[in-house]
Amino acid sequence: MATIEQIREAIKYTLVMKQSHTRELEDALVAEMAKVLFGRDEQLQHPAIVGYKSIARANVPVAWRSDVIQTVGDKEQDVYRWLALVKSWVGKGWNKMNVEGMLEAYRAGGIQRRNGKAQELTDVERRSKYTGGEFADFIEH
């Protein structure tokens, strides 16, 4: 049976021959081949991936798994920081599949505020936005 490195080399050769090689594509193909050959993607065992699945109730998309692992790393404190960010992101009702956005926020040190306000509306702002003005006129008609 082929090893992951042999599979990686075969994929790399094929992609170079077709002149469409990118590291992300190579990683995604290797992960899929490993899953088929060995029954499971070994990246699914990384604590950042396991924690994401536990919090978001979804798997990190295959194409983003290596990015999450490389960005978060293996240090326990970094994994906890990542999981706190995922929990906050999901708790705000934001798209749990927006792993790119989560990684950007992680690299920036957390979910950033804009103009001194959180990016989401406060309860007061939400209430006034949806109970008055043009929206209320639209609903009434």
| Tens digit of each residue's pLDDT (9 = 90 or more) over 9-37 | 766 666 665 565 567 767 767 766 766 66
Q: Is residue 118 part of a domain?
A: no
Q: Is residue 6 part of a domain?
A: yes
More confident residue, 137 or 35: 35
- Number of domains making up the chain: 1
Span 85-109, mean pLDDT?
94
Q: Provide the mean pLDDT of the chain.
A: 76
Q: Is residue 91 part of a domain?
A: no
Q: Is residue 121 part of a domain?
A: no
Q: Is residue 58 part of a domain?
A: no
How does pLDDT run across 63-89, given as a tens digit for each residue?
899 999 999 998 999 999 999 999 999
Q: Provide the pLDDT confidence category of residue 94 given band limits of 50, 70 and 90.
A: very high
User: Are 96 and 89 spatial neighbours (Cβ–Cβ below 8 Å)?
Assistant: yes
Q: Is residue 73 part of a domain?
A: no
Output the pLDDT for position 16: 62
Span 105-117, mean pLDDT?
79
Whole-angstrom distance, CA of residue 59 vs CA of residue 26: 19
Domain containing 15: what range?
A: 1-40
Three-class secondary structure of residue 93 per DSSP: coil
Q: Is residue 2 part of a domain?
A: yes
What does the angle CA 118 – CA 122 – CA 127 come to, to the nearest 5 degrees?
155
Q: Provide the pLDDT confidence category of residue 135 given band limits of 50, 70 and 90.
A: very low
| Amino acid at the residue 136 | A
Q: Provide the pLDDT confidence category of residue 51 given band limits of 50, 70 and 90.
A: very high
Output the pLDDT for position 42: 77
Close Cβ partners of 83 (under 8 Å, ≥ 6 residues apart): 48, 51, 52, 55
Q: Is residue 89 part of a domain?
A: no
